Structure 1
Amino acid sequence: MLKNYNIAIYPGTFEFFHDGHKSIINKAMKLFEIIYIVVSNNENKNSSHIEIRYNNIINSNFVKNNKNIKVIKNEGLTIDILNMLNCYYIIRGVRSIEDFKYEMSLYDSYKQISVDFEIIYFLSDESMRKISSSSILRSNKNEN
């Protein structure tokens, strides 16, 4: 079956859907007709319930105002979603050397499962590099 090269997935936990995520999506929209934001769980993170994160994104003005963005939930493997959508590309954002090292490891893990995909990495704009869901979570805890 031929893969669709006009769509891509952007997987993540998206604990907080922030301007850094939106910036990466805006960059990717110049390459793809449709981008699926794939809201996933990560056993290494203490994330809120997937339904809450999914609803926060799907109800955001950013998504509501763009018909080329779709939002789906994923409680399995990213590669399974990629195959289900018959998609070839995964979008990832990189803010730092540490992110890049993590992404290399993730890429290698994915390639052990399937070779029929590619990841496209977008560098975060300098003004967005300090933004992360983890930092927002820490900031919110400190305010309470």
Structure 2
Amino acid sequence: MKIALFPGSFDPITIAHADILSRALPLFDKIVVGIGLNSSKQNFLSAEQRGEIVRTVFADMPNVEVALYEGLTIDFCKKINAQYMVRGIRSVGDFEYERAIAQINQTMMPEMETIFILSKPEYSAISSTIVRDILRNHGDVSPFLPKAALRFL
């Protein structure tokens, strides 16, 4: 069984995240959306809220699971038997950052392959950070979030 991890904070999940996951689905038997818990980050939504939103967005996709995890992402991959990690790339900056992490992860777990999926051009400017700023300032985030996520915000 080909299992992939799609890790991130998903604070909140955006249409760009949803697009990457939807495009990755045909490649794997199962994708686990791993919501990383990082105590050094100030989150907008609680981990439980983020999990509920992601589960709702992908409710009609039985081969998508959602899990919260702490610690090294590579250790979580081992725990769930994921041989692949899916990462979205929006820009050259994303690529350089993700490449370095993928190379370190492969050193730590040689059987792990990171699969980069390029963001569609129309989604390349969308990030959770920008969406959080819009939310904090009471702006309209509806163009940037999956419709199923809007009712939670």
Aligned-residue CA RMSD (Å) = 1.6
TM-score normalized by the length of structure 1: 0.87
* Distance across 2 between alignment mates of 1:20 and 1:13: 13
Determine the structure 2 residue equivalent to 1:42: 38
Unaligned runs of 5+ in 2: 140-153
**Partner Cα distance (2:71, 2:83) in 1:** 18
Q: Provide the C-alpha distance between the structure 1 equivalents of 2:40 and 2:89, rounded to a whole number of angstroms.
A: 19
| Deviation, structure 1 residue 111 | 2.9
1: distance between equivalents of 2:100 and 2:41? 17
Task: Determine the structure 2 residue equivalent to 1:85.
Answer: 80
Runs of 4+ in 1 over 4 A off after TM superposition: none
1:114 aligned partner:
109
1:18 CA displacement: 1.4
Specify every segment of 5 or more residues in structure 1 that has no aligned partner in the other structure, as ranges.
none
CA distance, structure 2, for counterparts of residue 42 and residue 65 of structure 1: 28
| Matched letter for residue 25 of structure 2 | M
Distance of 1:17 and 1:91 partners within structure 2? 15
Cα deviations by residue, 1:68-91 (Å, 9 ceiling, x for unpaired): 111011112111121112221000
Name the SS of the counterpart of 2:26 in structure 1: coil
Aligned-pair CA distance for 1:107: 1.5
Separation (CA, whole Å) in 1 of partners of 2:8 and 2:49 = 14
Of 42-51 and 79-88, deviating more is 42-51
Q: Which residue of 2 aligns with 1:54?
A: 51
1:139 to 134, 138, 141: 134
Within the candidate set 19, 22, 27, 2:23 is matched to 27
Q: Does 1:12 align with 2:11?
A: no
SS across alignment from 1:138 = helix
Q: Provide the C-alpha distance between the structure 1 equivalents of 2:9 and 2:129, rounded to a whole number of angstroms.
A: 11
